Structure 1
Amino acid sequence: MKKLPILYTTFLLLITTVVIGQNTRFSDPDTVIKNEFWGNLYAEGGQSFFCNTPFTSKGFLLTDGYIYPLADIRSALACGTSRQCEQDNRYRQIASDLHNMVPVRSRIEMQRRNARYDDIGKVAKPDDCGIRASAQFFEPPERVKGDVARTMAYMVTTYDLPWLGATSVFKGWNRLDPPDDNELTRHRRIAEIQGNQNPFVNNPDQLDQL
């Protein structure tokens, strides 16, 4: 019997163990944040998501941020207060999804809460990270607009959540900022840890079809 090439065999193994779909491996957000997010995905440090600031460990200036904020997930699920939602298995599964988690400066995570994504333009000047923000809207730096759009599309289609902004804005960001090496490397690592992929990173053109 003819042997399959090693790379092809590895590919077959990968597609049988990593799936397109939702997170089914984790359902304990606190443990995932501690052991998988900081203890595995960013165990050797990295760069903060919005500001691209290098870090070697979490530190007190960084926190685990969420592209699709947890407060909006709780609102969409109508599961009650934070404490009540923590008893909801569906919420715990969604809140444990590593594809939605990014390392963020604590002050920016506070600033983003309750804001909707949008193109603000000249209404607000960009800060030192390239972020434009107002009381109601948040515009990320151009270099991660596509990352935000593809994560948003994943959360909306995977967990049947509402869009947090105009679909046309996210489609524009997806085209403006296609997946780069950093996003692809991060996506591959998460797929290995969690067992599922974000199809919009693998094939960004799918977002235009939504």
Structure 2
Amino acid sequence: MKKLLIIPTAFAFMLTATFVIGQNIRFSDPATVIKDQFWGNLYADGGQSFFCDAPFSRKGFTLTEGYIYPLADVRNALSCGTSRQCEKDNRYRQIASDLHNMIPVRSRTELRRRNARYEDLGETVKQDDCGIRESSHFFEPPTRVKGDVARSMSYMVNTYSLPWLGSAQVFQNWNRADPPDDRELSRHKKVAEIQGNDNPYITDPTRIERL
């Protein structure tokens, strides 16, 4: 049975603030954003790692900044060359500085999934201790963040004209099965306040159905 798309009560808080719908134009220095805004502001008081939901009080050597839409795929889409070459491209720097795409993740998890495509792998593939399923070049996130992944992916694809990293139908299914919860909405509100722009697929998840 499919779950109904129910928006938590925290959604009411989103209606009181107005943010620009569009791309990040406030930041274009990824290294500074990671240090000052991601770890120094958004997660200054700690939080939970995205895929494994492991609590942390500060960044340690086992944690890194991850990207729902990996930067290697952004570089491929922009055809801007190597990481160092792409850093000279202002469009790449803006995309790489977008906090809506950044997540705190275990370093080993980020390494494994950098070249993967998102997919439903099914029960035949065993979950790891975080609820992740992996097979060859495919990656299925834990059920509790599938919708988060879908809404971030939709934002990146449609804001920056990037290609999908998996089937659009898979992301639509994940969005329906895992609606925004209080944690996702609270994080989105803080990111929007820091960066100045909205992810409309979080404030209105039905948008994904029209992609």
TM-score (normalised: structure 2): 0.92
Identity %: 70
2:184 aligned partner: 183
Between the two structures, name the one with larger relative contact order (CA 8 Å, sep ≥ 6).
2
CA distance in 2, matches of 1:20, 1:88: 23
1:33-52 correspondence runs (5 A)? 33-52=34-53
1:53-64 correspondence runs (5 A)? 53-64=54-65
1:55-94 correspondence runs (5 A)? 55-94=56-95
Asked whether 1:172 is paired with 2:137, we answer no
1:195 aligned partner: 196
Asked whether 1:161 is paired with 2:162, we answer yes
Total equivalences in the alignment: 197
CA distance in 2, matches of 1:194, 1:122: 39
Structure 1 residue 123 displacement after superposition: 3.6
**SS in structure 1 at match of 2:60:** coil
2:98 aligned partner: 97
CA distance in 1, matches of 2:129, 2:56: 17
Structure 1 residue 72 displacement after superposition: 0.1
**SS in structure 2 at match of 1:122:** coil
2:108 aligned partner: 107
2:147 aligned partner: 146
Higher helix share: 1
Structure 1 residue 104 displacement after superposition: 0.1
CA distance in 2, matches of 1:111, 1:136: 9
CA RMSD of aligned residues (A): 1.0
- Partner letter of residue 183 of structure 1? E
1:119 aligned partner: 120
Structure 1 residue 122 displacement after superposition: 2.7
Give a deviation string over 1:94-139, Cα, whole Å, max 9, x none: 0000000000000000010110000001342000000000121000
- Which stretches of structure 1, 4 residues or more, deviate above 3 A after TM superposition? none
CA distance in 2, matches of 1:124, 1:32: 37
Structure 1 residue 169 displacement after superposition: 0.2
